[in-house]
Amino acid sequence: MKKDKKSEAAPESYAAAYAELQEIVQALQSDAVGVDALSDQIARAAILIEYCRKRLRATEDELEKLK
Protein backbone atom coordinates (compact mmCIF):
# COMPACT_ATOMS: atom_id res chain seq x y z
CA MET A 1 0.00 0.00 0.00
CA LYS A 2 1.18 3.47 -0.85
CA LYS A 3 1.69 5.73 2.15
CA ASP A 4 1.20 9.45 1.76
CA LYS A 5 3.09 12.12 3.69
CA LYS A 6 0.13 12.83 6.00
CA SER A 7 -0.04 9.23 7.20
CA GLU A 8 3.46 9.46 8.66
CA ALA A 9 3.69 13.18 9.47
CA ALA A 10 3.63 14.38 13.04
CA PRO A 11 0.58 16.46 13.89
CA GLU A 12 0.93 20.21 14.34
CA SER A 13 -0.42 20.17 17.88
CA TYR A 14 -2.26 18.10 20.46
CA ALA A 15 -5.52 19.71 19.36
CA ALA A 16 -4.86 18.82 15.71
CA ALA A 17 -3.99 15.23 16.64
CA TYR A 18 -7.11 14.89 18.76
CA ALA A 19 -9.31 16.32 16.02
CA GLU A 20 -7.84 13.96 13.44
CA LEU A 21 -8.37 11.02 15.80
CA GLN A 22 -12.01 12.03 16.17
CA GLU A 23 -12.38 12.09 12.38
CA ILE A 24 -10.88 8.60 12.10
CA VAL A 25 -13.16 7.25 14.82
CA GLN A 26 -16.24 8.76 13.18
CA ALA A 27 -15.26 7.29 9.82
CA LEU A 28 -14.73 3.87 11.36
CA GLN A 29 -18.03 4.00 13.24
CA SER A 30 -19.95 4.99 10.13
CA ASP A 31 -18.33 2.28 8.03
CA ALA A 32 -17.01 5.02 5.73
CA VAL A 33 -13.57 3.39 5.62
CA GLY A 34 -13.14 0.63 3.09
CA VAL A 35 -11.15 -2.48 3.83
CA ASP A 36 -8.24 -1.24 1.71
CA ALA A 37 -7.89 1.96 3.71
CA LEU A 38 -8.59 0.40 7.10
CA SER A 39 -5.01 -0.58 7.90
CA ASP A 40 -3.75 2.89 6.90
CA GLN A 41 -6.34 4.54 9.15
CA ILE A 42 -5.43 2.29 12.07
CA ALA A 43 -1.72 2.97 11.56
CA ARG A 44 -2.38 6.71 11.47
CA ALA A 45 -4.49 6.50 14.61
CA ALA A 46 -1.63 4.69 16.39
CA ILE A 47 0.77 7.50 15.46
CA LEU A 48 -1.69 10.12 16.70
CA ILE A 49 -2.37 8.28 19.97
CA GLU A 50 1.36 7.98 20.67
CA TYR A 51 1.82 11.69 19.96
CA CYS A 52 -1.02 12.61 22.33
CA ARG A 53 0.36 10.34 25.06
CA LYS A 54 3.80 11.95 24.78
CA ARG A 55 2.33 15.46 24.95
CA LEU A 56 0.21 14.55 27.99
CA ARG A 57 3.18 12.96 29.76
CA ALA A 58 5.32 16.02 29.05
CA THR A 59 2.61 18.27 30.45
CA GLU A 60 2.29 16.08 33.55
CA ASP A 61 6.05 16.28 34.07
CA GLU A 62 5.95 20.06 33.78
CA LEU A 63 3.13 20.24 36.33
CA GLU A 64 5.05 18.01 38.73
CA LYS A 65 8.04 20.36 38.52
CA LEU A 66 5.82 23.26 39.55
CA LYS A 67 4.72 21.55 42.78
Give 4-61 pLDDT, tens digit per residue: 566 778 899 999 999 999 999 999 899 888 888 899 999 999 999 999 999 999 999 9
Distance CA 32, CA 26 (A): 8
Indicate the helix (H) or strand (E) that contains 7: helix 5-8
pTM summary value: 0.80
CA-to-CA distance for 7 and 62, rounded, in angstroms? 29
Length of the chain: 67
Check pLDDT > 60 for residue 2.
Answer: no
